[in-house]
Chain A
């Protein structure tokens, strides 16, 4: 049973960089059947797809965030990461990491989510 766990600072100052890591256990991140994604949810709002990465490094980003986002993967540590720069209060949200199936591009496993607040 795969498990995903987000980690990183819960508080980030405006204009700084938000950095989160998702540790994957119970499955190899190098599995060719999946991709690895970040999704966020503003307080009381819906789900926003941020982007995803394949184990070999190919990335796809939401156009609305593309200029500020980098997703990377470390297969040796079985984890992947999110970096979002120049943050503002509008980036305050719960951030989820998730595993996506290549066949249907459906998110079949999720981390519990981590709240990141942008405030000085």
Chain B
């Protein structure tokens, strides 16, 4: 099984801040990495797929990078609606798995 580790598990930030979340895979997954946003009480929403491709309709302040085992999700300037939990998910093989999540809180 491929284990996905996110860091930090939580962070506090202010509106306008630049935020970076890291996801590390236990083995190389090439660029088979997707990112989701989940607001409280809501279903997750796909933000980025294949490591860096922005899903249709997602604001350009979100960006993803990385390959192999190390990946990052960056929010260039936090908006109030961005305070949420973010998850990475690997799709390298048929056994899919998610990271533990990063909770972005208001400072």
> Per DSSP, are chain B's interface residues mostly helix, strand or loop, or mixed?
loop
Cβ-defined partner of B46 (8 Å) among A46, A106, A112: A106
Once the chains are docked, how many angstroms separate the CA of A105 from the CA of B89? 9
Give the total number of A-B pairs whose CB atoms are below 8 A apart: 60
Q: Which of B44, B45, B99, B100: most chain A CB closer than 10 A?
A: B44
Contacts of B96 in A (CB 8 A): 37, 49, 52, 105
Known A47-B87, A60-B94: A107·B46 in contact at CB below 8 Å = yes
> Per DSSP, are chain A's interface residues mostly helix, strand or loop, or mixed?
strand
Is the CB–CB distance between B43 and A101 below 8 Å? no
Is the CB–CB distance between A108 and B95 below 8 Å? no
**How many Å from the CB of A94 to the closest CB on chain B?**
9
Count of interface residues, chain B, beta-carbon cutoff 8 Å: 25
Contacts of A46 in B (CB 8 A): 87, 98-101
Kindly identify, within residues 48 to 64 of chain B, every residue whose CB is under 8 Å from any CB belonging to chain A: 49-50, 53, 55
Q: Does A111 contact B (CB under 8 A)?
A: yes
Is the CB–CB distance between B49 and A110 below 8 Å? no
Contacts of A37 in B (CB 8 A): 96
Is the CB–CB distance between A63 and B43 below 8 Å? no
Is the CB–CB distance between A105 and B98 below 8 Å? no
5 A-B pairs with the lowest CB-CB distances in the bound complex, closest first: A105-B91, A110-B43, A106-B49, A106-B34, A104-B49
